[in-house]
Structure 1
Amino acid sequence: MIYGKYTVKEGYLSMKFSEMPYTRPDLDALPKQLDELCEQLKNTPDADGQFALFLKSREILNTLATEYSIAYIRNTVDTTDAFYEAEREALDNAMPLLNEKILAFSKMLCESPVRKELEDKIGSLWFTNTELELKGFSPEIIPLMQEESRLEASYQKLYASAQIPFDGKVCTIPQLAAYKQNPDRALRRAAYEAEGKFFDDHREEFDDLYTKLVKNRTEQAKALGFHSYVELGYIRRMRNCYGPNEIANFRRQVIEDLVPLVNKIRAAQAKRIGCDDHFTFADLMFTFKDGNATPQGTPDELLAAAKQMYTEMSPETAKFIELMFENDLFDVLSKPGKAPGGYCTTLPDYKSPFIFSNFNGTSDDVDVLTHEAGHAFAAYIDTHEHPIEKQMEPTYETCETHSMSMEFLTSPYHHLFFKDQTAKYELSHTEDALAFIPYGTMVDHFQQLMYEKPDMTPEERNQTWAELEKQYRPYIDFDNLPFYGRGAGWQRQLHIYTSPFYYIDYCLAQTVALQFFALFLNDAKKAWETYVAFVRSGGTKTFVDTVHAAGLKSPLEDGCLKEITETIAAWLDTHQI
C-alpha cells in the first residue's frame, strides 16, 4: 500500500524519496499469500486464469521489492543507522524463505499444461530464466543464503567504517580518490599508503570475511549437486546464452588483442606526466602533467548540468530526468558512514529508479551521473512503456551495456561538466574504458580460481592475484606499496565479496559500449536511435540476441575485440594531447 504525500502523474506516483514511507512487509503473511496463489493455480486450468495469477504475483513482488529498496538505500546511505540496518537484516533473512515460495509458484507455471499459451503472453525467456533460478535454489540452503547476506553486509560496513587521517582531514576511502590524482607525486603515493594502512590494520577481518564467504558459497553449490560454486555462480548471474568456455575464450582475446594496446596507452600516459623513467601504481590515476580533467562546478551545479543534458538529448530522456529531479531520486555525496561504490536500484510501486554514488571531486562524479543514469533511464523505459508482464529485468551484461554506452553517447554534452577540460576528459575516459576490460576480466578470472580451489589460504589468494596482474596489467610496478604491494588489492573490489562473477558483465558490456561509441563517431543520430531500441528490448531477449538485434557484434565472437581495439586505437591516435 502506498500512502503519504503523492500525486498521480502520467501513470506513476510522484513523491520525493525522503517522503516515501517505509513499512516492513508482513513477513508472516507474505508466505501465506504466495501459498494461496499456488493453491489457486492448481485449481485454474485455463491460460487466461493462470496469467491473471501471474500478474497478481508480480504486484505482490513489486511491493516487496519497493520496501526492500527503500530499506537498502537508507541503510547504505548511512550504515550507522541502527533502524535500517535491522530492517535490511530482517529482509535479507526473509528473502530466501520468500524466494522458496516464489519459485514454487514459478515452477508450477513452468510445468503448466498450457505453458505454450503462457509463453505467448509472458515471453518464453521468462521460463528459461526461471528454470535457471530453480537450478540454483533449494530450501536446504536457506540458512547458508541468510549467512551469506550477513557476511556481505559486514564487508560493506567494515569498508564504510574507514575514517582515515590524511592531509589534516579525516577521509573515507572514496574521498581519497582526489588525492590519487594530485599532480604532487609524493601526495599521490601517500594517499595510497594511507588507504593501504586501513586495509592492513583490518587485514585479519577482510581475510576472515572472504574465507567465510568462499566456504559458504561452496557449501551452497555442493548442496545443490554442483562441482564448485563456479557453476552455481553462472546460474545466479542468469547466464542463459553462454558459459565458462565462452568466457575463457573472451579472456584469451583480452590478453592477446587488448593488453598490448593498454600497454601502449600506459606508456603514452607515463610520457605525458613525465614518469616514463619509472611509472608506478601510484601514478596510474594521474593522466596529465597539468592535472586530470575535473568537473567544473559544485555538486549542485553538476546535477543541474545533468538535468540540462538529459532535457536536451531526447524527448524520452527529458521525461526521465524530470521524474528524477522532481522526486529527489539521488544521493550522491560521499560522507562518513556511507557505503562505498555507486548503484542504481528501482522502486517499482513508484515506477522510479534511484541513483546512489559517492562524489569525490574527480571525473568519476560525471561518470556516475552518466553510467548510473544509463541504468536509471533503462528502468524508466521498462516501467513506463511496457505492461507489467513485459517488465522483465534484462540480464546483468545487458544492463551494464545500458550504462556504459550512455557514458559515450552523452559526449556532445560533456562540455557542460568540464568546460575547457573536455578534450582531456574524453581522451582519458576512452583510455580508461579500454584499460578497464583487462582489469575487470582479471577480477572474473581471480574469482573462478578462488572457487575452483576454495581452500586457498589468504597468502595463496594474494599470490594468485599478483600472478594475474602480470598477465592482465603487466605495466604496473607496485613499488613496495603497502596492501597493494603484497597482492591484496583485490580486497578493495567490493564485487568480489558481494557480487561473485558479476564483474565480467562490465567487460562484455564495455565491449558493446565501445561499438556504440564507434557508431556514434560515424553517425551520432543513428547511434542514439540504435541505443534506444536496444534499451526498449528490456529483458525480452538474451544478451547475445539483444546485441545482434541492434546490428552489433557479440563480445563473445572471435575477432570482435580485435576489431573494436583497432577502431578505437585509431581515434586515440588523433586525439592525443
Structure 2
Amino acid sequence: MKFSEMTYTRPDIDALLARCKELTAKAAAADSGEALVEVYYEQSRAFADYNTAANLANIHYTCDTRDACWKAEQDFFDANGPAVSNASVEISRAFLANPHVDALTAAFGSTCVAGMKNAVLGMDERTVALQQEYNALVSSYQQIYGGALVELDGKQLTIPQLGPYKESTDAAVRRAAYEAEAGYFDAHRAELDELYTKIVKNLNQQAQVMGFHDYSELSYVRMNRIGYGPEDIKRFRDQVAHDVVPELQKVIALKNRRTGIQHPTFADLPVAFKDGNPKPIEGYNARMSAARTMYHELSPETAEFIDFMQDNELFDVESRPGKMSGGYMTSLPSYKAPFIFANWNNTSADVDVLTHECGHAFEGYVAERDPKIPADLECPGMESAEIHSMAMEFLTAPWHHLLFGKDTDKYALLHAEDSFLFLAYGCAVDEFQHIMYQNPDLTPDQRNQTWLELEHKYRPWIDFDALPFYGRGAGWQRQLHIYECPFYYIDYCLSTMAALQFFLLSLHDQKDAWARYLRLVRRAGTASYTELCETAGLQVPFNDGSIKAIAQQMSQWIAEHQV
C-alpha cells in the first residue's frame, strides 16, 4: 500500500489498556513454556495498530511541524505514551514472574528476557507525569529547531539548506553560513538553555524516584543496553582518546594539505578538497533510479526491498520550510512497511543519509517478514541497529559511481574520513552528557565551558576563531540527540567500529563482507551487540587494545587514497 493511502485513526487508549490487562493475566497464568511463547507472540501483535498510528502521526508532524492538526496528534501520543509504556511493562513483569520464563530465552534468544528486565527497571507509574512533561519539552525543542529559517544569499533557508554554503570554496561564504546559523541559535539562547536545564532536572528526578543516583545510570536501562555498562563505555572512550585521536590528527594534517587552507578554523571543517567537495547527481528521480539499480545489483534481498520502498512512496527526503531537521527510519508494523525521512540539501550527506536509513529500513523489512520473530524483537538495541545503517553506507560503495560519477573517488575518501573522524565527536557528546547529568546544577556558561574542554580533548585541531554560538561552547545545542534522546549518541560510535570493520573486510572480499552483514541482519533483535559482532566475526571494542589496529588501518587507507 502506498503511504498516501495509509489511513490514520487515533487509537482508543482505554481499549488498549484493557487489552494489556488481559494479556498481563494470560502471561501470569500460562501453564507451560509453549503457552508462554504463544502469549508473547500475542502481546507483540497487540501493539501493532497503536505503534502504527503513533508513527504515522509522528511522520506527518515531523514532515510539517507547523501543521496544527498533526501537532495535536503528536501531543496526544506525548500525553498517552507513558501510560501505554507502563501497561506494557506490567505485561513484562508478568512474563518474568512466570516459572516457565526460560522458554522465552530458548525461543527468542538472549535479549528477550534481558530486555523485559530492563523495561521493568526503567519504568515506574510514579514517573508518568514527568514522562509527559519530558515529551512536551522535546516537542518544544523540535519546534524551535524545525521552525528555523535564516537569511542568507537573499533567501530564507532552513538549517539543512545551509549545507551547500558551508561547503563553498569561498571562505567568506562558509563563514557567513555559520554566522547565519549561529544567529538563529543565539536568538533562542535563553529558550534553549532553559529547556536543557528542565530536561536534565526532569530526567534526573525520574531516575531518583526509581532509586537511581541520576539519569546517567537509568539511561543504560532505558536504552536497553545488554551485556555492558558505563565502565565498558568509559574504556571505549579512553581508547578513542588514546589510540584514535592521534591517528585522526594525521588525517586532519593530510586534509589540510589537500585543501590548501593554511590556518583552518571551525567554519573550514566541511571543506575536504581544494576544488570543492564531491557532489551527488541532482534530482529526486535520478537519485531514486540510481538507488534502485544499486540495490538490485547488490543482492536479491535488497532488490525486493528497494522495489517495495519506492513503489509504495516510503521516502520523504527533500528539505522544506517547517520540516523537522535530521533523518530517521521508522516502522509502520500494520503495513509491514519501513518509512524513511531525511532533509536532502544537495551535498554528499544526501547519499550518506540515503544509504544509512536504507540500512535501517532493510533490516526492518527483512525482520517484518520473518514469522518467527515477534514484532518487538524485530530491531536490536540502538547500538546494534546502527550497525545495519552505518555498514550499509560502506557496503554499497561499488555502486556509488551511479550517484557521484566523476566525484566517486572523492566521495570514497571523504566518507571514510568523516566516519573515522566521527568517533571523536561522538565520544565527546557522550562524555558531555555523563557530566551534565552527574552535575545537574551547572550553569549554562559552565555547560558550555565543559563542551569546549571536551572539544579540546577529542578534537584538538579545532579553532573556533570567535565564531558566534560555536565559539562560546554552545555548539552541542545543535545536536538533536542531546535533547531528544540522551545517551543515544555513543551507539553511533559503537556501530561505527563495526562499520569500519565491514569496510576493511569489503576491501578484500566484498561478497564475504555482504554475507557476514546479512547473517547479522537476519538475527534481528534476538542477539546483543557483542553477540552480533561475533556473528559477523568482528572485534568487540570494549576490550583494551581492540581499537588500535583498526584505527591504524583506517589511517593508512586514507593516507594511500588521497585525491
TM bucket by the smaller chain? over 0.9
Contact 1:255 1:471 in 2 (8 A): yes
1:251 and 1:124 map into 2 onto residues whose CA distance is 26
Matched residue, 1:358: 343
TM value normalised by structure 2: 0.98
User: 1:203 aligns to what?
Assistant: 189
Match of 1:127 among 89, 113, 124: 113
State yes or no: 1:571 paired with 2:519: no
1:502 maps to 2:502: no
Structure 1 contact 436–507 (Cα < 8 Å) conserved: yes
Q: Deviations over 1:90-116 (max 9, x none)?
A: 112111111111111111111101222
Q: Could you say which residue in structure 2 is the equivalent of 1:263?
A: 249
Opposite residue 54 of structure 2, the aligned amino acid is Y
Partner residue of 2:31?
45
CA distance in 1, matches of 2:494, 2:315: 27
CA-based RMSD of the aligned residues comes to 1.2
Any residues of structure 2 matched to 1:201-240 within 5 Å, and which? 201-240=187-226
Where does residue 5 of structure 1 map in the other structure? none
Q: Which structure 2 residue ranges, 5 or more long, are not aligned?
A: none
Q: Distance in 1 between matches of 2:491 and 2:85?
A: 24
- In the other structure, the counterpart of 2:359 is 374
**Which residue of 1 is the match for residue 374 of structure 2?**
389
Of 466-475 and 60-69, deviating more is: 60-69
**More deviation in 389-398 or 72-81?**
389-398
Secondary structure of the corresponding residue to residue 11 of structure 2? coil
Aligned 8 A contact 2:501 2:550 in 1: yes
CA distance in 1, matches of 2:552, 2:251: 13
Which position in structure 2 is the counterpart of 1:347? Answer: 332
Find the aligned partners of 1:47 and 1:507 in 2 and give their Cα distance: 38
Aligned to 2:227: 241
Give yes or no for contact 1:295–1:361 (8 Å, CA) kept in 2.
Answer: yes
Per-residue deviation, 1:64: 1.1
The residue number in structure 2 matching 1:320 is 305
Q: SS at the partner of 2:329?
A: strand
Normalised by the size of structure 1, how large is the TM-score?
A: 0.96
Q: Are the structure 2 counterparts of residues 275 and 127 from structure 1 closer, same or farther at C-alpha, using a change threshold of 3 Å?
A: same
Q: Which residue of 2 aligns with 1:436?
A: 422
Give 1:475's aligned residue.
461
Q: CA deviation at 1:388?
A: 4.0
Matched residue, 2:444: 458
**Counterparts of 1:116 and 1:249, CA distance in 2:** 32
Contact (CA 8 Å) 1:331, 1:355: kept in 2 or not? yes
Does the C-alpha gap of structure 1 residues 510 and 42 become closer, same or farther in structure 2, counting only changes over 3 Å?
A: closer
**Distance (Å, rounded) in 2 between the aligned partners of 1:85 and 1:453:** 33
2:64 equivalent to 1:81: no
Secondary structure of the residue aligned to 2:451 is: helix
Task: Say which of 381, 395, 402 aligns to 1:416.
Answer: 402
Does the 8 Å CA contact 2:280/2:351 hold for their aligned counterparts? yes
Structure 1 residues without counterparts, runs of 5 or longer: 1-14
Residue-by-residue CA offset, 1:203-224 (whole Å, 9 max, x unaligned): 0011111010001000000000
Report the 3-state secondary structure (helix = DSSP H, G, I; strand = E; otherwise coil) of the residue aligned with 1:427.
helix
Instruction: Output one character per residue of 1:335-394: Cα deviation in whole Å (capped at 9) or x when no partner.
Output: 000001000011111111110000000000000111000000011111113424374420
Deviates more, 1:467-476 or 1:32-41: 32-41
CA distance in 2 between counterparts of 1:562 and 1:538 reads 29
Conserved 8 A contact 1:352-1:380: yes
Structure 2 equivalent of residue 294 of structure 1: 279
Aligned-pair identity (%)? 48
1:152 aligned onto 2:138: yes
Question: Given the alignment of the two structures, is residue 519 of structure 1 paired with residue 492 of structure 2, yes or no?
Answer: no
Q: Distance in 1 between matches of 2:298 and 2:371?
A: 22
- For residues 42 and 499 of structure 1, the distance between their equivalents in structure 2, rounded to whole angstroms, comes to 33
* Partner Cα distance (1:509, 1:117) in 2: 30
Q: Is the 8 A contact 1:58 1:388 kept in 2?
A: no
- Matched residues in 2 for 1:245 and 1:519: separation? 29
Structure 2 Cα separation of the partners of residues 572 and 349 of structure 1: 44
Distance 1:535 1:340 in 2: 28
Specify which of 306, 315, 320 is matched with residue 335 of structure 1.
320
Q: What CA distance in whole angstroms lies between the structure 2 residues aligned with 1:149 and 1:188?
A: 35
CA distance in 2, matches of 1:124, 1:513: 23
Letter in 2 for 1:170: Q
Displacement of 1:43 in angstroms is 4.1
Distance across 1 between alignment mates of 2:372 and 2:12: 27
User: Is the Cα contact below 8 Å between 1:126 and 1:392 reproduced in 2?
Assistant: no
Range 165-174 or range 556-565, more displaced = 556-565
Cα deviation per residue 1:497-521 (whole Å; 9 max; x = unaligned)?
Answer: 0011100000011011000001000
Matches within 5 A, 1:158-197: 158-197=144-183
| Matched pairs, number | 562
How far is 1:133 from its partner? 1.2
Partners of 1:43 and 1:540 lie apart in 2 by 25
Letter of the aligned partner of 2:211 in structure 1? G
Alpha carbons 2:367, 2:373 under 8 Å: kept: no
Distance 1:330 1:252 in 2: 39
Alpha-carbon distance in 1 for matches of 2:427, 2:363: 25
Deviation at 1:549, TM superposition (A): 1.9
Deviations 1:50-86 (A, max 9, x none): 3332222111112211111100100000001111111
Aligned match of 2:101: 115
Distance 2:510 2:203 in 1: 45
Partner of residue 562, structure 1: 548
